[in-house]
Amino acid sequence: MVDLSEVVDTRPAPDRGIEQRVRHAGLRPTRQRIALAELLFAKGDRHISAEQLHEEALGAGVAVSLATVYNALHQFTDAGLLRIVAVEGVRTYFDTNTSDHHHFYIEEENRVVDISGGPVSVINLPEPPEGMEIANVDIIVRLRRKRGA
């Protein structure tokens, strides 16, 4: 029989700031949510796909399915912790910077980067249909290398 008083948990303690952030957003801080949130937010503002986060989680020893990663990312988004950046309707990235800002999408690299340098203006924005209002305007500027460069 094993004496459990001698068993030492070698896993790192969860970041209490991350746990509070998840709890404050109205989510229950489960072990998997905290592990994924630590991976997401420990590296500062960034754009990541569910597949990329899944690979990071597995590499960090977090046993989690891709479906669980998708569910957690959408729960974090619904709670206001993340923002979705959809490219072509097929590729979805999750942005840890939830402030109003726009993006470049680098086609050859399947990579999203923030547009810096202030606001981007949109001229002649159409009037919304009756009973609707514009909630947000997301701009994604697609980039590719110049031919011959």
pLDDT given for residue 15 in this prediction: 56
- Show pLDDT as tens, one digit a residue, over the chain (149 residues): 444 444 433 334 445 789 999 999 999 999 999 999 999 999 899 999 999 999 999 999 999 999 999 999 999 999 999 999 998 777 899 999 998 889 999 989 989 999 987 778 888 899 999 999 998 888 899 999 998 86
pLDDT at residue 122 in the model: 86
At 137 the pLDDT is 85
- Our measurement of the distance from residue 99's CA atom to the centroid of its chain's CA atoms, rounded to an integer in Å, reads 13
Q: Report the pLDDT value the prediction gives residue 14, as an integer from 0 to 100.
A: 47
pLDDT of residue 149: 67
Q: Which domains does the chain have, with CATH numbers?
A: 11-143 (1.10.10.10)
* Torsion on CA atoms 54, 38, 87, 140, rounded to nearest 10: -160
